[in-house]
Structure 1
Amino acid sequence: MSAAALLGFLLLTGVAAYAQTLTGFAFGLITMGGVGLTGLLSLPDAAMIVSVLTLVNATQMLLKGWRDVAWREFGLVMAASVPLLFLGYWLLEWLAGTRADLLRLILGIVIVVSSLQLARKPEPLAQRSNAASFLFFGAVAGLMGGMFSTAGPPLVYHFYRQPMSLVRVRETLVAVFALNAVFRIGLVAASGDLPAGTTLSGLLAVPVVMGATYVARRWPPPASAVTMRRIVFGLLFLSGVSLGSPAVIRLLGALQ
């Protein structure tokens, strides 16, 4: 990775960590969307580094927040998420080999749909959802996490509808992202698909992520949580459209 590319990646991960700490989601979506747009890294390599950085951010947050995790819901989500994570990782490897434009299109669609779905204020439920619903959303999150290290959107939507405190929701989501990252990193290592040495320079983003996480917790912005969420949604939507549109044009051209 060149010095300019590394600087861009560090800036991107800093913004993503800041947004993740304030909202409880969006680290993977922002980072993967930015990487897909700029081509700083291949998507499989970027997903691996995002997994490591997600784990760093989550560990830092859970050092104080682990007591607020909803452990029953966490267990249900993980039970369904882990098996589908393996399937998602296999799909990523299959598509990355010869179908790069299709892979970018899928990522673009995931980001656009996620931004639209997350932009809607979910209607709160009168009582907590049943176990089957947590298993379902956990499975969808596992598939997305395996492909792009972006397990957040389905879980954010489902958890924010629950009659739970916002702190409990946020810390439970962070715990899920942390364990998913552990499994994904282990899967990459076991399959021998670790990024090249030059790509691993992206791990220099670790102190940047830690610093952005600390700043967001220590000095949150004066903007309201609603405003922050709208900014994140807007950025995600634009990045998804920008990422998917060129891929659609190239795929249509190949069919003619």
Structure 2
Amino acid sequence: MTLRHVIEDINENPHRERDFYEYPALYDFYHSRMLDRDRQVNLLERYQPDDANRVLEFGCGTGPLLTRIEDEYEEVLGVDADERMLESARKHVSEADVLEADFTEWSAADDGRVFDVAALLGGLLHLTDNRDVESFAKNVYESLREGGTFVTFFQPFTDDVDNGSTDTQTVESERFSVERRSTTALTSADGHYTTTYVFTIRDTVRETEAKMGSVFHGRFHDPDALADTFDAAGFSDVEVIDSDGTTIFHAVK
């Protein structure tokens, strides 16, 4: 489904409740222009073991990282719980494998596999329950060899979190533009939040547009609690690093 088809689908039934992840084409179009994918590759390379040749990405989505690294390692696997995302990922990758699995329930050990480095790039906010974070930490541990590393980045829950913040971002190509307006409000003292999005998608060739609302429930994580959880899972070295406006979490088995 292209962005043109996304517009048609939304306008066919504009009042149906929708999920941003329902449309991989919209996800790809927006994030490919908003996120620095090269920086994600650099993050992986910076914190991986020197002899890394097996890479596991949790929450791989449509596979943008996989396509950038699949020729650099002997084994690359992406795992995601959303089959719609994976269907798109399969069209993008050539060497990497993808697997449908919930990473709070699955580890590479379940399939008799082991990796040198694992990454979760941006997906930590989906883990809203403490038990899910604990399960994920254990699954990461079981997925890595001794000396293997895990890296992710996240927005920590601090006093600087702006409750009720609003934001508007617009990305565009020669034909399409996507505007995303968002409002975020904290819903608990533990960092849970709800973000309401309104997407406006425009096709300048066909002179059509569609508006789509979507609601996301996420969580800002406390760095100390996150470190304690990975310590409890068995990791020997855990660190939280503030780097260029990004908070990085790094753990060594």
Q: Which has the higher contact order (CA 8 A, sep 6+)?
A: 1
Would you say same fold, with TM above 0.5?
A: no
Structure showing the higher strand proportion among its residues: 2
The TM-score, its normalising length taken from structure 1, stands at 0.27
Structure showing the higher helix proportion among its residues: 1
Structure number with bigger Rg: 2
